[in-house]
Amino acid sequence: MGRCCAIIDPVCAGHDNFGHLESNARLVNACSGIPRDVARLAFEPALREDAERVHDPGYLSWLEQRCSAIVTPEWLDTDTYITRRSFDAALRAAGAAIAAVERSIEGEHCFALVRPPGHHAEFDRAMGFCLINNVAVAAKKALDSVGKIAIVDWDVHHGNGTQNCFYGTDRVLYCSVHQEHLFPYSGTVDEVGAGDGKGYTINAPLQAGSTIADYQFVFSEIFVPAIERFSPDVMIVSAGQDILFDDPLGRMSIRPQDFELLTRMLTRAAGVPLALVLEGGYSQSHGAAVHHIFAALMSNGKVDVQGMPSGRTQTIVSWLKSEHRLP
């Protein structure tokens, strides 16, 4: 039986906007999937200096002041809202990601189920429901004590903010699988990193309707061998469950039980405990998916082949194999 824990935080509820998909209600639904016997970990909010490893100090000051000055929710762009408590919630979410990574370094799988999400947040701006890039903040901090970090982002949207944060370094391997031609419209196969980071960003944009057969093919042929070659000290998952079949924002065909297989493949590839951090996921079946992720963390199981990937996925995989010189 694997050791694992969860992080939840009531402060996240301060960032809420009734009727918006990225609401506290969706977090409550996700958290319904945490098994009863999984321990909840206490943690501290991220320090300002932690957030400044990833974000422009001027942006953080602006965001803090803007939140403190409002009474009712306001919009930073057409997708992204703030409330009076949003800055506090964002620092708590980033702190939860830091704690999840630290716990994984100590030898235990940990899933931080917190919001607002983070992977679209850029150096100097909020974007796509995200205010502070939780995973990037946690990874930057961990690089003080470990050599190499792998990040796998299975959210249906490309994690532009995370990719850009580590685009020029060979100490972070960023692997994203996402729906092509979808917000934020980045993450094409030829985005592979630059300078020292060339070859350390891997993007697998899949067509709408992709199934677990497609995801398993990308994982087994690209992500797993790339992670094994990289041999990370820390493995972070940007866990966005908006690839579920019933998600209102994505058009993928992943079932809740499929997350068990994806999680198992990553635990085996990395050889180190996983730190998972919630990104998207807005559907009814989100809680069931979270339950299956924990099931994979807590027990060993088989990884059965799930059928044939589409021709389009096979084409992308063969291109990526060649570009990234994978066996």
Any idea which residues carry the catalytic annotation? 120
Shortest Cβ contact with Zn ion: which residue?
A: 280
When asked if residue 242 is in the footprint of Zn ion (CB under 5 A), the reply is yes
CB of 243 to Zn ion, least distance (A): 8
The verdict on whether omega for the bond into residue 116 sits within 30 degrees of 0, i.e. cis, is yes
- Report the residue number, 232 or 240, with the smaller CB distance to Zn ion: 240
Of the candidate spans 101-109, 152-160, 190-198, 262-270, the one that interacts with Zn ion by CB under 5 A turns out to be: 152-160
Determine the Cα–Cα distance for residues 130 and 119; give it in Å rounded to an integer.
7
In the chain, the amino acid numbered 245 is: F
- Report the residue number, 103 or 286, with the smaller CB distance to Zn ion: 286
Site string for Zn ion, 153-182 (x = CB under 5 A): --x-x-------------------------
Pick from 172, 207, 165: nearest CA to 189: 207
Number of residues forming the site for Zn ion (CB under 5 A) = 5
Reported residue count of the chain is: 327
Pick from 317, 286, 291: nearest CA to 224: 317
CB of 326 to Zn ion, least distance (A): 26
CB of 177 to Zn ion, least distance (A): 12
DSSP string, 57-84: HHHHHHHHHHHHT-SS-EESSSS-EE-T
Of residues 159, 240, 256, 287, which one binds Zn ion by CB under 5 A?
A: 240
CB of 27 to Zn ion, least distance (A): 14
- Report the residue number, 141 or 157, with the smaller CB distance to Zn ion: 157
Of residues 280, 286, 309, 317, which one binds Zn ion by CB under 5 A?
A: 280
* Residue pair 181/156 in contact by the 8 Å Cβ criterion: no
Of the candidate spans 151-159, 177-185, 216-224, 302-310, the one that interacts with Zn ion by CB under 5 A turns out to be: 151-159
* Residue pair 165/54 in contact by the 8 Å Cβ criterion: yes
DSSP string, 191-247: ----GGGTTSEEEEEE-TT--HHHHHHHIIIIIHHHHHHH--SEEEEEE--TTBTT-
- Report the residue number, 191 or 279, with the smaller CB distance to Zn ion: 279
When asked if residue 116 is in the footprint of Zn ion (CB under 5 A), the reply is no
How distant, in Å, are the alpha carbons of 4, 57, 279 from that of 39? Answer: 7, 35, 21
Of the candidate spans 103-111, 211-219, 280-288, 315-323, the one that interacts with Zn ion by CB under 5 A turns out to be: 280-288
CB of 242 to Zn ion, least distance (A): 4
Contact residues: Zn ion, CB under 5 A: 155, 157, 240, 242, 280
